[in-house]
Structure 1
């Protein structure tokens, strides 16, 4: 299997002059189709299975195409996502294999998925996809939307191998969907209750959304309680039970099997210290009073910066740059030292605080710039709730060859 993969890579690098990792593919660039070996016949899985009489007349060699197909899937399931665009340059059958989603299905079943960071930084019209080490990157195509969408705030979340970006166009609130298999953006499907400034979190191929600001028939904004779920496999939205509180500018996460929505502001603009947890089995919400009672609030601050690692909920306190961990039983937060970024520079805005595997990831402006130019700093740590000061490791020379602003507009983590 490894030799087949090596042969595949050698053929690509030798015979096809294609962009390196770290460059963007655009639809206008010419594609060079190659024929590598013979084309194995990929079976049509939609056909009815043959009858017993047909099976008796088959030769053992008839199973070879199916075997080749399964081997190909197993090989490519072990290849980095940054290499997948090359499949489109091989031949139509390999391109169809990628578009079928079978590779990513096998990745999930074999436990081969890896985290990728997707970011939109200030001044950049395109999202950037970066691997866990922050060494390799890839620019996504530009979203074919209008000027209103690009000038307004947007929110981002991943569901399976899809990146969902929600924002407001001239006519309405829209959802743009980037599919990793297709390497392109598609509009829709729209939310059942279109809204912005909601709390959200993803789990596998599902993404949950709650609260936010919706617009009434007359165009007036309204803070809502509605919640819904998106499924990436079916590309459909489903309404779920609404929350107890109206809230906007809240944050969401999955903690111990439940969808949590934390903080935010109510319809009067008052900061909410309560949280809510959603039980999908019961389709009901539980209100958690005073969940953020010890947290300092400032006017116009960002939604709570939260992340979950090993079923522990962590919060980056933007006013003090402190890391805290939540005690579910005591409904209280414990301090875990200072985080090495300037989260308080813009009241929490412009900072990315995410979980990436068993680590916490924070991206922002370094508190100790090495020059007068502000630079993007990337730090990770393996958090421990029982240690007062965490050990943060800086990622040196991250994303060499790409200029990224130190101010992060959107950031999410995709497992693919």
Structure 2
């Protein structure tokens, strides 16, 4: 936790072992509590103002030694990311360093990246970002799209430090991206084949997208098999080799170095029990027959709820509120136990089922006796052995935020 000392005048102080302590003078502003929980509304311009407070550069003497740039980045990369909002108030230089993206690059290279959960629930107009333990949160700025985009279904995915949200605006399919470095929304760049209801999977700073429903300017719709990849560092889309099957309402994951696309419906609206996996090294797809041969399907079914933890593929079987793990050797799913949310009541819609580091994350309406209408958050460290007991842990604090239990969009960013 970042803490700041005060002298007898109530001003923030900083010190150096090689110079006398020097007071930091901030004129005309009320200093916020930098050790309070950062459940903030950071919807501001470059100044990042909060309650009339602007970031200030410290009023140091010129002979105070400065850190070498590379060392400064290495140190700041090791600060927990949800503490960065505090550092923005101390120095404009830190804000500029944050926007450069160098800190996040070092975090990835040193294995310091942390998962964050981005979520939009029913009735909420703004996204909320939570840390991995759901102890800190931050409201994102308002996404500046039209009413058609807000009211319609949307797809969300993460690549590097970008949260990407795709949906239908009044005239076309639109893509908006939120950049963690700047805390701002930007429009584009659009996909090569704009689409909705597709499968996606993240691998570091890139995300793969496959299948879905293409809607052209004449509002004609087509189920596609096209595949492309987004690189968050170059902000570009690259066309990849297409799948064997056209499919919409499908799901994706990245498992053991390959991009998997599972389930969905074909151009005739028939349920697909097969899957496919993509090898980027050879730019080829391999069909996986009958991977969902034992799964229950209904006309109101959500796309398959799947997640990867420790290179094992898990699914939430919504018809039974049951967790399963995939056995590749037998091409079958093994039952592991119950999941503590009501996934069955809406055919899987409104439930978030994600990997969160070495844990599974599930969010929705609790299946317990309380049956509250606010979201319930559970995590567990799963085992692929059916004989091992599932130990679901509820995150009861959730920063005091009470969101609707019906989750419209949810994705995890590693940064």
Give the TM-score, by structure 2 length.
0.88
> Structure 1: how far apart are the matches of 2:78 and 2:59?
21
Q: Work out the number of aligned pairs and report it.
A: 390
> Structure 2: how far apart are the matches of 1:404 and 1:199?
26
- Aligned position for 1:23: 40
- Aligned position for 2:159: 159
Q: Mapping of 1:106-145 within 5 angstroms?
A: 106-145=106-145
> Structure 2: how far apart are the matches of 1:413 and 1:305?
14
* Residue number among 56, 61, 83 corresponding to 1:34 in the alignment: 56
Where 1:71 maps in the other structure, the secondary structure is helix
> Structure 2: how far apart are the matches of 1:344 and 1:117?
23
> Structure 2: how far apart are the matches of 1:143 and 1:375?
23
Q: Mapping of 1:229-240 within 5 angstroms?
A: 229-240=229-240
What's the CA shift for 1:375?
3.0
8 A contact 1:199–1:210 mirrored in 2: yes
- Aligned position for 2:391: 392
Q: 1:73 to 1:8 in 2, by over 3 A?
A: farther
8 A contact 1:350–1:364 mirrored in 2: yes
- Aligned position for 2:316: 316
Q: 1:235 to 1:11 in 2, by over 3 A?
A: farther
Q: 1:263 to 1:307 in 2, by over 3 A?
A: same
- Aligned position for 2:20: none
What's the CA shift for 1:18?
6.6
- Aligned position for 2:373: 374
- Aligned position for 1:222: 222
What's the CA shift for 1:378?
1.3
> Structure 2: how far apart are the matches of 1:375 and 1:406?
5
> Structure 2: how far apart are the matches of 1:120 and 1:368?
23
8 A contact 2:322–2:337 mirrored in 1: yes
Where 1:129 maps in the other structure, the secondary structure is strand
> Structure 2: how far apart are the matches of 1:122 and 1:389?
35
Q: Mapping of 1:7-406 within 5 angstroms?
A: 16-17=31-32, 20=36, 21-27=38-44, 29=49, 30-36=52-58, 38=60, 67-370=67-370, 373-388=372-387, 390-406=389-405
Structure number with the higher helix fraction is 1
Cα displacement string for residues 64-109 of structure 1 (whole angstroms, at most 9, x for unaligned residues): 86x5212221221112222223344334322211111111111111
Cα displacement string for residues 203-228 of structure 1 (whole angstroms, at most 9, x for unaligned residues): 00000000000023532011001110
Where 1:90 maps in the other structure, the secondary structure is coil
8 A contact 2:115–2:413 mirrored in 1: yes
Q: 1:88 to 1:325 in 2, by over 3 A?
A: same
8 A contact 2:379–2:392 mirrored in 1: yes
- Aligned position for 1:48: none
8 A contact 2:201–2:259 mirrored in 1: yes
> Structure 2: how far apart are the matches of 1:23 and 1:297?
41
8 A contact 2:133–2:395 mirrored in 1: no
8 A contact 2:25–2:59 mirrored in 1: no
8 A contact 1:275–1:288 mirrored in 2: yes
RMSD (Å), alpha carbons: 2.5
What's the CA shift for 1:7?
5.5
What's the CA shift for 1:113?
0.9
> Structure 1: how far apart are the matches of 2:389 and 2:299?
29
Where 2:330 maps in the other structure, the secondary structure is coil
> Structure 1: how far apart are the matches of 2:293 and 2:5?
57
